[in-house]
Amino acid sequence: MRIAVVGTGYVGLVAGTCFAESGNEVVCVDQDAAKIRSLRRGKMPIYEPGLEELVRRNSQEGRLTFATQLPKAVRAAEIVFIAVGTPQGEDGSADLQHVLAVARDVARAMNGYKVIVNKSTVPVGTAVKVREVVRRETTHPFSVVSNPEFLKQGAAIDDFMKPDRVVVGAEDPRGAALMSELYAPFTRTGAPIMMMDCASAELAKYAANAMLATRISFMNEIANVCELVGADVDEVRRAIGSDRRIGSSFLFPGIGYGGSCFPKDVKAVMHFAAERDYEFKILKAVETVNQLQKTRLVARMRTHFGHLKGKTIAVWGLAFKPRTDDMREAPSIPLIEALLSAGVTVQAYDPEATRVAKGLFGARVTFAARSYDALKGADGLAILTEWNEFRRPDFAKMLKLMRSPVIFDGRNLFAPEQMKQSGFTYYSIGRH
Ligand code: NAD
């Protein structure tokens, strides 16, 4: 099939590449000319495991191309994906300007029947808006389809190639049939393709992210209570995770959720519920808990040191989660800002996000090329992202490098008892 994907970010680039990998002819379009130039040279604008190799192979085989010009790509395609950003507007709503602008440009370029697929995360009613915009601009026939994306950054290729399910909101059989054909290679192993109306598909994506964010805030509160009553959140997690009604994934407490999706999607759900005079009380609490959780590690440092001014803190991990360079809404940002404004010298290390972090903090933070370099002369270490390489460090080497052996572990990487025996003062989340 011939496909155009508009928006070559985390979602569009991965989706386009995976569609090419399954034999389709794909053009990825982006208005960012520098991004397209670098992709044509085989250089990835983002870090995502496995992506570079897949892009290279499919580009070499001529199935995957990159363009800045949307009309040509649309004319050549049967299916056009919209995968542009839907950032948070000032009032918490999802900003649809990019989605609707692309819908208009697609409509103007149409030369016959097209399936216009919205892959961006958008509020209920967006498919209707897209349909109206397209209808105003063209007399050609078209189907509008809602196909929310559930991939996780850091495991995006695998998630896309082997999805748990594919959700398709389609209002007409022609669009639905083409989507079934397109996704057949990805759902062969038993993953269902779920056909539904557009409103349900649109809401399903928000419901998934809101549920996951709720689990995180819930476990963070359980961890906070563990600290108060002398329980261990790891044991509590083990006990409840084995209950099949609960399940064991997504039960890890930490320093609050971040990333480009959970914070904005939680706000967007609250916003479009409020527009219909419905107050989404649980999500309001989820968000409040998340904000507070992001401040707890610094509060603990203050309690430990008495005052922070003049201290040097090493930071391991800047990305909002491991296996990505993405720092959008990363909890590391407010935490480092709080340390800097308290007069702390911050020495940070991240395996992939340093380039992004340099853009955010500039010379205010010292960036180390290796994890151990960040520890030199540090009064404490804050662990903010659970990269695998932090899980089994050389503790003896760490003791030698640090001025004082204190670890503030926001990701519960180590066993508290072992840390005590190794000579560290060790703080983690919800454990003693
Ligand atoms: P992103 O910011 O990484 O990429 C968006 C791309 O769209 C950018 O490259 C931008 O230049 C391009 N763009 C914007 N307007 C354009 C236009 N008019 N024409 C051409 N290109 C244009 O965003 P992302 O993380 O890939 O997210 C895209 C959407 O998918 C969002 O709605 C997001 O909520 C959703 N989503 C994201 C994830 C994720 O993990 N990142 C997962 C599922 C769903």
Do 32 and 71 reside in the same domain of the chain? Answer: yes
Query: For a pocket test of ligand 1, which of 11, 147, 257, 261 has the largest count of ligand atoms closer than 8 A to its C-beta?
Result: 11
pLDDT, mean over the chain = 97
Q: Which residue's CA lies nearest to atom 44 of ligand 1?
A: 149
Q: What contacts 154, CB < 8 A, 6 or more positions away?
A: 48, 49, 321, 322, 323, 324
Per-residue pLDDT, averaged over 315-340, amounts to 97
Task: Judge whether 58 and 20 are in contact, CB under 8 Å.
Answer: yes
Nearest to 196 by CA among 166, 169, 177, 171: 169
Q: Tell me the CA–centroid distance for residue 405 and ligand 1, in Å.
A: 42
Which domain covers residue 273, as residue numbers? 206-292
CB 127 within 8 A of CB 92: no
* Dist. CA 402 → ligand 1 center (Å): 41
pLDDT of residue 342: 98
Model pLDDT, residue 188: 87
Residue 241 has which token pair? 């995770």
Q: Which atom of ligand 1 is nearest to the CA of 35?
A: 9
- β strands within 252-310, DSSP E: none
Same-domain status, 255 and 169? no
Whether residue 355 is found in the same domain as residue 269: no
- Ligand 1 atom nearest to CA at 122: 32
How many whole angstroms separate alpha carbon 318 and alpha carbon 314?
A: 11
Q: Residue 11's closest CA among 70, 73, 104, 86?
A: 86
Bridge partner residues of 347 (DSSP): 314, 366
Taking the C-alpha atoms of residue 367 and residue 386, their distance in angstroms, rounded to an integer, is 18
Q: What percent of the chain has pLDDT over 70?
A: 100
Last residue of a domain, one of 258, 292, 326: 292
What's the CA-to-centroid distance between 193 and ligand 1, angstroms? Answer: 23
Same domain, yes or no: 235 and 382:
no
pLDDT of 339 above 90: yes
**84-136, pLDDT tens digit by residue?**
999 999 999 999 999 999 999 999 999 999 999 999 999 999 999 999 999 99
Cα 85 from Cα 67, distance rounded (Å): 18
Which residues sit with their C-beta closer than 6 Å to ligand 1?
6-12, 29-32, 35, 83-86, 98, 101-102, 120-121, 149, 151, 153, 260-261
User: Percentage of the chain surpassing pLDDT 90?
Assistant: 99
What is the distance in A from the centroid of ligand 1 to the CA of 87?
A: 9
- Mean per-residue pLDDT for 172-186? 97
Say which CATH number the domain at 272 has. Answer: 1.10.1040.10
Q: What is the pLDDT of residue 280?
A: 98
228 and 260: one domain? yes
Question: Is 177 a member of any domain?
Answer: yes
Domain count, the chain: 3
Q: Is residue 149 part of a domain?
A: yes
Closest ligand 1 atom number to CA of residue 13: 26
| Atom number in ligand 1 closest to CA 121 | 32
Domain limit, last residue, from 148, 166, 196: 196
Judge if 308 and 359 occupy the same domain. yes
Q: Which of 30, 86, 356 has most ligand 1 atoms within 8 Å of its beta carbon, as the pocket-test mutant? A: 30
Atom of ligand 1 nearest to the CA of 11: 26
Do 38 and 57 have their domain in common? yes
- The sign one gets for the Cα dihedral 111, 112, 114, 116 is positive
Strand partners, 409: 383
Q: What is the pLDDT of residue 189?
A: 84
Helix 262-274 with 281-305: angle, nearest 10 deg: 140
What's the average model confidence in pLDDT over 357-364?
A: 98
Domain boundary (196, 217, 235) is at 196
* 121 alpha carbon – ligand 1 mean position (Å): 9
Residue 201 CB partners (closer than 8 Å, separation 6+): 146, 147, 148, 167, 168, 169
Residue carrying structure tokens 């993405």: 326
pLDDT, tens digit, 9 for 90 and up, residues 372-426? 999 999 999 999 999 999 999 999 999 999 999 999 999 999 999 999 999 999 9
> Which residues are known catalytic residues?
261
Two structure tokens written together for 407: 């670890």
CA of 82 from ligand 1 middle (Å) equals 9
pLDDT at 160 over 90: yes
Residue 94, C-beta contacts closer than 8 angstroms, at least 6 positions apart: 86, 87, 88, 121, 122, 123, 264, 268, 271, 272
* Band (190; pLDDT cuts 50, 70, 90): confident
Q: Are 41 and 115 in contact (CB under 8 A)?
A: no
- Determine the pLDDT at residue 430: 98
Q: Can you give the pLDDT at residue 309?
A: 98
Alpha-helical runs (H) found in 31-153: 33-40, 51-60, 70-76, 97-109, 126-137
Nearest CA to ligand 1 atom 41: 10
Q: If you average pLDDT over residues 43-72, what whole number do you get? A: 97
What value does the mean pLDDT take over residues 11-23?
Answer: 98
Question: 215: pLDDT confidence band, cut at 50, 70 and 90?
Answer: very high
Which two tokens mark 383?
């662990």
CA distance 422 to 418: 6
Read off the pLDDT of residues 223-282 as tens digits, 9 standing for 90 and up: 999 999 999 999 999 999 999 999 999 999 999 999 999 999 999 999 999 999 999 999
